[in-house]
Structure 1
Amino acid sequence: MLFANDTEVALRSVVNLVNTLDTDGTEHLGTLGDLDRFLEEEGFTGSRTHDDDELASVRGLRARLRSLWDASEDEAVALVNEILRESQALPQLVKHDHWDWHLHATTAEAPLAQRMATEAAMAFVDVIRSKELDRLRICAADDCDAVLIDLSKNRSKRYCDTGNCANRAHVRAYRERKAAS
């Protein structure tokens, strides 16, 4: 494990959130039901308003977090600090549901997008402090721009988890090798 478990969970959630909007414009958070499913799959808890404003704020957060994949270290630090200031983050250890001790920096009553942003920012604090921003990658498939976080020990992850990018690339390489021989 490269980071603490809650950091890795938060980083995977950020990747999954960012990848809810395809580069071709396909929206996977189009409805409140889509948001409900996403939050259930990611294990988010806390208060909800279940309205269009909440959905819009999560979509806005998605774009903001996506910018971290193209950011320099200084730009990433500025965004992370901005998010933490906006949420008036106060890190504290908590234990709830099936989760053992982990960090929260907002209350369960804070707006959903604020809780999500703060959790993401806290995870990126660890990434930045560990000098691991190079683990933020764009899928290596020619026809995919999904983001990923490489949490492998040998830094070898090149393809996203949104589709069959790795499989398609391996099949293409195999066919090219066969055609060449």
Structure 2
Amino acid sequence: MPFSHDMVYSLSTVVDLINTSPEAGEHDGLADLADLETFVRLRQVSGVAALTRQDLAEVLELRQAFHNVFTAPDRTTAVSRLNTLLGRTRITPSLTEHDGFPLHVHYFAPGASVAEHLAADCGVALAHVLVEDEWERLRTCAAPDCSHVFVDESRNRSRVYCDSRTCGNRIHVAAYRARRRA
């Protein structure tokens, strides 16, 4: 399934958001307001006013809701979880060009909080993945010591590690060393 530019960007944003969770890494990547401000700046989330502690709380709740979609045991559960998330989100599609990006669609309503912004744009991107019956592309890393999520964009849906250079390489080297010892 070929993904459009804005869909790839939104999917990458939701993956990065989920992977800030302490369950996905060594520490909470959104432990405080400064972390949220950094995330918003690095992911170039547009149209966001000054952030508050309430924004942080809402984004942390959203992060867990997105994680629940990625880790759903089946398509029906993923659809139900995403519908619940989208049902709480004001969505107002509009075409826009900004920050050097080509024409694309934003789904968040004017004046939306950062959590609503992320829920709308990332939620709609995930909805497209599910509509295309590609939900199994939403994955968790197969490395035993990693729980990062990722979207498998490979043609044959064969990707199993969040990053082949780190997790994949580490697992392959360990297997090689085990074979050499045997």
Mapping for residues 9-28 of structure 1, pairs under 5 Å: 9-23=9-23, 26-28=27-29
Quick one: which amino acid aligns to residue 111 of structure 1?
S
Q: Any idea what SS the aligned residue of 1:100 has?
A: coil
CA distance in 1, matches of 2:60, 2:13: 14
Quick one: which amino acid aligns to residue 143 of structure 2?
A
Quick one: which amino acid aligns to residue 52 of structure 1?
R
Residue number in structure 1 paired with 2:100: 98
Instruction: State the TM-score, normalized to the length of structure 2.
Output: 0.89
What's the % identity of the aligned pairs? 36
* CA shift digits 1:43-99 (9 cap, x unpaired): 111122322111111111000100012223223223333333322312232222211
Quick one: which amino acid aligns to residue 126 of structure 2?
F
Could you list the runs of 5+ residues in structure 2 that have no partner in the other structure?
A: none
Pair 1:42 & 2:43 matched: yes
1:164 to 163, 166, 171: 166
CA distance in 2, matches of 1:108, 1:170: 48
Mapping for residues 104-123 of structure 1, pairs under 5 Å: 104-123=106-125
Instruction: State the TM-score, normalized to the length of structure 1.
Output: 0.89
Q: Which moved more, 1:59-68 or 1:153-162?
A: 153-162
**Residues 51 and 90 (structure 1), Cα distance of their counterparts in 2 relative to 1, 3 Å cut:** closer
Kindly state the Cα deviation for residue 153 of structure 1 after the two structures are TM-superposed: 1.7
2:142 to 140, 143, 146: 140
Q: How many residues align?
A: 180
Quick one: which amino acid aligns to residue 19 of structure 1?
N
Q: Is the 8 A contact 1:17 1:62 kept in 2?
A: yes
Q: Is the 8 A contact 2:96 2:104 kept in 1?
A: yes
Kindly state the Cα deviation for residue 116 of structure 1 after the two structures are TM-superposed: 0.3
Please provide the CA RMSD for this pair: 2.1
